[in-house]
Amino acid sequence: MTKLKDKTVLVTGGASGIGRLMGDMCLQEGAKQLVIWDISKEKLDETTREFRSMHFIVHPYLVDVSDLQAVIETAVKVRAEAGEVDILINNAGIISGNRNFAGFTHPEIDRTMAVNTNALMHVTLEFLPAMISKGQGHIVNISSAAGMLSNPQMSVYCASKWAVAGWSDSLRIELERSQTGVHVTTVTPSYINTGMFTGVRVNPLMPLLKPEDIAARVVRAVKANKLFVRAPFMVKLLPFTKGILPVSLFDLVAGRWLGVYRSMGGFTGHGGDK
């Protein structure tokens, strides 16, 4: 079990969406202090004011996680001002979709991979050594159901989230084999109703998830040291169904019956952090 009480929690993309919700829930669970990294000064200031008005200790940092030098420099500040991080939630992410791959630009590819994939590894590398030295800690990596299911018109986003899912679980195995006491939880939700995925097409089997529900499930998973958070239920079935069905039949089920392959047709989301 991972205890939240008296712990230092860092959430990237923590000034809005599920990042803000998870930070709030950690504080309500008794976390000693919350470290928030975000790219939006307006949202960072607003969230900090709100949490401090409730007498919580909050350390806000304006940082673009795709900027490696900024990540390193900000991590140094965090250690100096808030101490070592006990629980790291890698939540910041962006999406660019509703286009076939041929319509993407090189900068869009680089930006998506930098924020959604590389940043998680760089941020983790800054705080993991201290967790290993203490023999305890918890790392949460927000991937996506798109990291388990190929989806047309969001190929670059899928690539970034597949990479996160693979790295995160590899990290888990390494830390378990070395008996470090550091836990890893990989989160793979489908579309979350935060504005990031406005306009996506959903159905009763793959509904638009409530951010409060996902945030609560992640916090519960940290406390219980769960390896995965997968939602909705259909996402839990993906590894099994992909493993037993021929590709053509899986494409029929996912693409035509569930409509997943058409889900980005009406996408108008803001594309920012979750």
**8 A C-beta contact, residue 221 and residue 185:** yes
pLDDT given for residue 272 in this prediction: 54
- 270 domain-assigned: no
Range of the domain at 15: 8-262
Instruction: Tell me the C-alpha distance between 30 and 8, whole Å.
Output: 10
Rounded distance between C-alpha atoms, residue 203 and residue 60, angstroms: 38
Residue 269 belongs to some domain of the structure: no
CB-based contact 241:204 (threshold 8 Å): no
Q: Are 206 and 258 in contact (CB under 8 A)?
A: yes
Per-residue pLDDT tens digits of the chain, which is 274 residues long: 889 999 999 999 999 999 999 999 999 999 999 999 999 999 999 999 999 999 999 999 999 999 999 999 999 999 999 999 999 999 999 987 678 899 999 999 999 999 999 999 999 999 999 999 999 999 999 999 888 888 888 899 999 999 999 999 999 999 999 999 999 999 999 867 775 555 455 555 566 789 999 999 999 999 999 999 998 777 887 888 888 889 888 788 777 777 677 665 554 555 555 4
What pLDDT is recorded for position 97?
67
Closest CA to 2 of 92, 89, 120: 89
Tell me the whole-structure pTM to 2 decimals.
Answer: 0.90
In a domain, 136, yes or no: yes
Q: What is the pLDDT of residue 206?
A: 65
| Active-site position among 61, 157, 191, 261 | 157
Q: How many domains does the chain have?
A: 1
**CATH for 71:** 3.40.50.720
Give whole-number Cα distances, 211 to 137, 155, 192, 208, in Å: 25, 24, 6, 9
Task: Let me know if 157 is a catalytic residue.
Answer: yes
